[in-house]
Structure 1
Amino acid sequence: MLEGEVLTSDASANVDRPALEAALRKAVGGEVRFDAGSRSVYAVAGSNYRQVPIGLVIPKSIDDVVAAVAVSREHGAPVLPVGGMTSLAGQNVNVAVTIDFSKYLGNIDDLDPEKRVARVQPGLVLDVLRDRAEEHHLTFGPDPSTHTHCTFDGMIGNNSCGVHSVM
């Protein structure tokens, strides 16, 4: 710890929100929302935790994601990726720049049945991949109970498996 440095449990306490919002709007081609209504929607999910985000980015491309993370870092703001908002333990709410992948980045980029490999975007819902893979008699192992709504970014970030998981 540096002399004079103050530790805080809230990493966003010193974030200049208007400057952060302006920088995100300039750098991101997708949606940037800092209004109270949008922020309140992302303050709660399936858990009993309530954390109002600093702001919200809905990227239209991976370049938007890179830009949002870079700008947030420059402004000292934490980031929180979300998709299906299905966590029951609070991992998908925080005082951070919330990046929601589910609106524009939820596609299957490639599915190669011979190699048994799929390349997907972070906001893809698990059952969308399962339905496509099933056409080739394939599946995807993890089986969380929220399979109809959970997205890959959340599944990876939370190490999801589920009751029918293939170990």
Structure 2
Amino acid sequence: MVSLTPVNTSDVDVRGLERWLRETIAGTVGFDAGSRALYSMDASNYRRRPLGVVLPRDVDDVVATVAACREFGVPVVPRGGGTSIAGNATGEGVVIDTSRHLTRILQLDPDRRVARVQPGVVLDDLRAAAARYGLTFGP
């Protein structure tokens, strides 16, 4: 279920959060109007402008971003391909977009039929890798 309750940004040190993220993580940090507008929608009809956007380079960036958002009292909005038709990839917190750098298939075990992937992996890439073993990944 999608919450449409807005974040009260008057209680959030948005500039402090942005500064902390820029000084701490290796990935891209975007709190400008263009970045925020770009991530205000997914494949759904929902439009919610985030406070900011982070494109983490690695898991450490994700961990640091989540910790900073907790410290500053800001919701985290995880985002992969932005293909949700239920508004899951939009929100008024900080969007963490994993589709740029966290896209690897870490392990594919055809005997156990298990795949371990990073959160930004493209479904077609996973299906292509599984197809080599006569497997597929739904839906």
Which structure has more relative contact order (CA 8 Å, sep 6+)? It is 2
Matched, 1:10 2:28: no
* Count of aligned pairs between the two proteins: 134
- State how 1:126-165 maps to structure 2 within 5 Å: 126-140=123-137, 142-143=138-139
1:41-66 deviations in whole A, cap 9, x for unaligned? 00112222111000000001001000
TM-score by length of 2: 0.91
Aligned-pair identity in percent equals 51
Gaps of 5+ in 1: 1-8, 144-167
2:18 alignment partner in structure 1: 21
1:84 alignment partner in structure 2: 81
Gaps of 5+ in 2: none
RMSD of aligned Cα (Å): 1.1
DSSP 3-state at the match of 2:37: helix
Query: 1:52–1:95: 8 Å Cα contact kept in structure 2?
Result: yes
TM-score by length of 1: 0.77
Which of 19, 29, 32 lines up with 2:29 in the alignment?
32
Q: Which structure: larger Rg? A: 1
DSSP 3-state at the match of 1:109: strand
Q: CA deviation at 1:115?
A: 2.3
Query: 1:12–1:77: 8 Å Cα contact kept in structure 2?
Result: no
